Structure 1
Amino acid sequence: MSARVNYGVIGCGMMGHEHLRNIALLDNAHVSAIFEPDPGMAAQAQAIAPAAQLASSLDDLLDVPDLDCLLIASPNHCHVAQMEAIRAKRPLPLMVEKPLYILAEEEHRLSGFAAAYPAPVWVAMEYRYMPPIAALIAQCEEVTGGVAMLTIREHRFPFLDKVGAWNRFNRTSGGTFVEKCCHFFDLMRLILKSEPVRVMASGGQATNHKNEIYDGEVPDIMDHGYVLVDFESGARAMLELCMFAEGSRYQEEVSAVGPKGKIEALVPGPGRFWPRDLGEPPVPQVIVSPRHPKGPKQIAVPVDPHLLDAGDHNGSTFYQHQRFLELVRGARTRPEVSLEDGRRAVAMGLAAQTSMQTGQAVALNPLTLSSVA
């Protein structure tokens, strides 16, 4: 049996609860301590992980003696400061939920953190590990002969209710292209094996949250948009996001096309949102469509029902933690999703936010992903 790994979890709202449920399914993994300042969320976390100690602060959590690794699943605007506090007191192997940071001015702090942190850091990019998307990634070079065009479409439900409504405002979420879409920018870089050189975006707030008020403020978070990205290799990618399309059969659709053919991944949304009167939720699919000979092949990619019940991300949170535990236990030498991967995904999101606000394309230096004047 693998050595037991004890987690400390920082921030345990809705996504933190998903992490707790998936850690419970892993071989010899245990949540030892949780810091969650909201009493209601803390009580729910304690119900999922009853053996975990509830800490009153991040500092108190870092004093728990038997921790082997840490997970940050707090609101976006808390990540950088919490990472710095961990570095200063107890730099254990760390998984940080996306987005790694939300403001351009935080990037220099992230660089300082990366230079001084002595343990591995894994950025939680769950979409890489959704089984149909993982299957597309594994096969896309062979099927396409080299991806020239990549399209990612997410048609989904609005942002869910979070503690303090932090996900309703750009200043605490980073904006939708950062908060939600850094997943997709990470997939673009991973699939295309290249860096972006230009980002063009358009979007806005058409429907969602416009009648909500929090402390006298109306949410300013956008709910739809398009992003076009040109890559150094000559490949092109497009993102289409709509957050008032929860009636869709599939939530994510990824299409990669090259000179030999096309491969697609179709991912349903959370099963808990599927109307029961329509029967069982859709099964994830991969579709392979060669040019010669023609003949699309549709392949079902079913996911273990226990994993589907444990969260809203098509089983990916479990598979992500499996790999992270290999890193913690020494069976893996580096994280699959590095700090640099997390930084670059956010840089693309910030460029998209800027392009949307200014109406201008944003040129990027592919070496640094800094904006080119």
Structure 2
Amino acid sequence: MSKTLRYGILGCGMMGKEHIRNIALIDGASVTAVADPDGAMQTENQAMLPEARFCHDLDELLSVDDFDALLIASPNYQHAEQLLTVFERTQLPILVEKPICTTIEDVARVREAAAAHPAPIWVAMEYRYMPAITQFVKQVRDGDIGPLQMATICEHRFPFLEKVGDWNRFNRNSGGTLVEKCCHFFDLMRLLTQDEAVRVMASGAADHNHQDETYEGETPDIIDNAFVIVDFASGKRAMLELNMFAEGSRFQERITAIGPKAKLECLLPGPGRFWPEETLGPAPVSQVIVSPREPKGPIESEIPVDPTILEAGDHNGSTYYQHVGFYKAVTEGAEVEVTVEDGLKAVVIGMAAQESIRSGRAVEIVDGGFGFNAV
């Protein structure tokens, strides 16, 4: 890669740091400006980026023309307003972390403004770019299972980590657990089915995590476990099983796709830094397993990740591969693979799931995937 791409980053917390480490692995890419209001975060990141300009907010970041593309990695509830400001004031290419917004009211505003923006806008759905998931999706597309009929995503993981200001402890800031993190999975469902959701049914609760915490007298209201069933227009179905107090297993996620010819599974370990290597040995490696109906018997394949890329973040190497795609979209005119439409529709499914839990009813997806019928 010979062309150069200078990044400005808005938000340099946990995910911002992961982006910085991965950008550093791409020849021709660099971070030249960073904005974050938290002094401690600025200090930590200055050690990683001694040559970069550090500032406090978006206005200050945009006041100097010293970067070519903007990465938004701020708290969820800030994304929509920040995007609208950037659309209004710049023509910059944008990579925005998921969720692209956290309220149904912002869906139409962001969609309309994004349609008029002249540069690439890429929504950061890291799970698409985990090498094992890339292989898994390829085998579904290649017809290894026949026509896909059912998909299941099971995530058994650790509780939400601490974030600056503890913003992720409340639905009003994060959009709710099924928006904040699970929009990744609803995006995968759309990618696998190549279809649009029409109905969402969910059951979930806050049963164990964060119940002994208080913030200015408030107890966190984010759920820590759920089942979500998504019906698609063609009759295909997908289900999410989420548990955030089950981090003791060998694999964090199991994704299954089933058709009339076979079952296909993808097994993904959690972040390597949490794996107790001193007692359990080396961290597990991702696997893709195909189990044909005839002849019966699973065929297992390990999908390793380059150690340097693996160590640059918590997402099984995906952040690096995502940045390679964004780099090519900006510098070579390659296709944007995760569009604003993709980001918004995944968020709407998550919002509908949160509403289904609240109301105890199935929720219809309307407006071509950009809305739902709240009860």
Q: Under a length normalisation based on structure 2, what TM-score does the superposition of the two structures give?
A: 0.97
Give the aligned partner of residue 306 of structure 1: 308
**Separation in 1 of the partners of 2:50 and 2:233?**
50
1:1-373 pair list within 5 angstroms: 1-141=1-141, 142-276=143-277, 277-332=279-334, 334-365=335-366, 367-372=368-373
Q: Assess if the C-alpha contact under 8 Å between 2:159 and 2:224 holds in 1.
A: yes
Q: Assess if the C-alpha contact under 8 Å between 1:196 and 1:369 holds in 2.
A: no
Q: Assess if the C-alpha contact under 8 Å between 1:205 and 1:223 holds in 2.
A: yes
Q: Assess if the C-alpha contact under 8 Å between 2:111 and 2:340 holds in 1.
A: no
**Separation in 1 of the partners of 2:353 and 2:325?**
30
2:211 is paired with a residue of what secondary structure? Answer: coil
2:297 is paired with a residue of what secondary structure? Answer: coil
How far did 1:366 drift?
6.8
Per-residue CA deviations over 1:278-312 (Å, capped at 9, x if unaligned) read 11000110001111111211000011111121100
Counterpart residue type for residue 96 of structure 1: V
**Separation in 2 of the partners of 1:330 and 1:254?**
33
**Separation in 2 of the partners of 1:265 and 1:17?**
27
* The 10-residue stretch of structure 1 (6-15 or 39-48) with the greater mean CA deviation from structure 2: 39-48
Q: Assess if the C-alpha contact under 8 Å between 1:175 and 1:222 holds in 2.
A: yes
How far did 1:66 drift?
2.8
2:178 is paired with a residue of what secondary structure? Answer: helix
Counterpart residue type for residue 221 of structure 1: I
How far did 1:61 drift?
1.2
**Separation in 1 of the partners of 2:89 and 2:236?**
44
How far did 1:345 drift?
0.3
How far did 1:87 drift?
1.5
Per-residue CA deviations over 1:332-356 (Å, capped at 9, x if unaligned) read 0x31000000000000000000001
**Separation in 2 of the partners of 1:322 and 1:254?**
24
* The 10-residue stretch of structure 1 (22-31 or 82-91) with the greater mean CA deviation from structure 2: 82-91
**How many residues end up aligned between the 2 structures?**
372
Ranges in structure 1 where 5+ consecutive residues have no aligned partner: none
Q: Assess if the C-alpha contact under 8 Å between 1:256 and 1:264 holds in 2.
A: yes
How far did 1:372 drift?
4.5
Note the aligned Cα RMSD (angstroms). Answer: 1.2
Per-residue CA deviations over 1:136-172 (Å, capped at 9, x if unaligned) read 0011132111110100000000000001111100000
How far did 1:370 drift?
2.3
1:165 is paired with a residue of what secondary structure? Answer: helix
Give every structure 1 segment of 4 or more consecutive aligned residues whose post-TM-superposition deviation is greater than 6 Å. none
Ranges in structure 2 where 5+ consecutive residues have no aligned partner: none
**Separation in 2 of the partners of 1:111 and 1:129?**
24
Q: Assess if the C-alpha contact under 8 Å between 2:87 and 2:114 holds in 1.
A: no
* The 10-residue stretch of structure 1 (108-117 or 335-344) with the greater mean CA deviation from structure 2: 108-117
Counterpart residue type for residue 3 of structure 2: A
How far did 1:105 drift?
1.3
Q: Assess if the C-alpha contact under 8 Å between 1:197 and 1:366 holds in 2.
A: no
How far did 1:111 drift?
2.5
Q: Assess if the C-alpha contact under 8 Å between 2:196 and 2:369 holds in 1.
A: no
How far did 1:197 drift?
1.0
**Separation in 1 of the partners of 2:71 and 2:180?**
18
Q: Assess if the C-alpha contact under 8 Å between 2:107 and 2:370 holds in 1.
A: no
1:210 is paired with a residue of what secondary structure? Answer: coil
1:144 is paired with a residue of what secondary structure? Answer: coil
* The 10-residue stretch of structure 1 (361-370 or 116-125) with the greater mean CA deviation from structure 2: 361-370
* The 10-residue stretch of structure 1 (115-124 or 200-209) with the greater mean CA deviation from structure 2: 115-124
* The 10-residue stretch of structure 1 (361-370 or 254-263) with the greater mean CA deviation from structure 2: 361-370
**Separation in 2 of the partners of 1:331 and 1:363?**
37
1:143 is paired with a residue of what secondary structure? Answer: coil
Identity of matched residues, %: 56
How far did 1:57 drift?
2.2
